Amino acid sequence: MKATADATEIAEAVKAGKVTARAVTEAALKRIERHNPMLGAFTDVAAERALERKMFGSYEAGFANVQDWLAESRIEIDQARLLVLHTAWLLDQPGEAQSAATRAQISAIKVVAARLQSRVVDRAMQVFGAMGLSPDTPLAQFWTWGRALHLMDGPDEVHLRTVARQELAAARNRMGESSAWFTTPEQMREEPRLR
């Protein structure tokens, strides 16, 4: 409940002009940047656990799906970090802070951050097995927190709609420019032209 009250207070402060939307955005970016190292630590711990835990007579680290989980977690963490850095750079550009493209990037970050938390922690829990659900590790608590992130900054669907509207507006503005990439049936019947 505390997070909801804070979000409501922040929204009211923005409406009243006491806090700028940019300040709220920067706070959200900082929160996400703080989570990334923690998620990286969960990936590191999961990798160490995979090196010491045996299943069916083999170490978990030898299973392809465990290797995939670790790789996907690392890749997604780095992707999210780069998205945050790019958005922070956009906010620093003159006139870009309130642009539709920047707002779409901020919405994308909110979706990516919540999904990232859930996915990385879920994969770490898989590596740990039942121990990942117990109070012996913080994984279950952080998985629950990750689920809450899907709602705290607004439902993912709202942010996805913001990103989609930006994409559709950009497509409307460049309508027809990508038609060179389409092959017509007439072109398919012709001999290939190699240049």
179-190 pLDDT, tens digit each: 777 777 787 788
90-128 pLDDT, tens digit each: 888 888 777 888 889 888 888 888 888 889 999 999 999
* pTM to 2 decimal places: 0.71
Q: Give residue 154's region: left, alpha or beta (phi > 0; psi -120 to 50).
A: left
Show the tokens assigned to 153: 């900054």
CATH of domain 2-173: 1.20.140.10
Q: Give residue 129's region: left, alpha or beta (phi > 0; psi -120 to 50).
A: left
125-160 pLDDT, tens digit each: 999 988 888 888 888 888 888 788 778 777 888 899
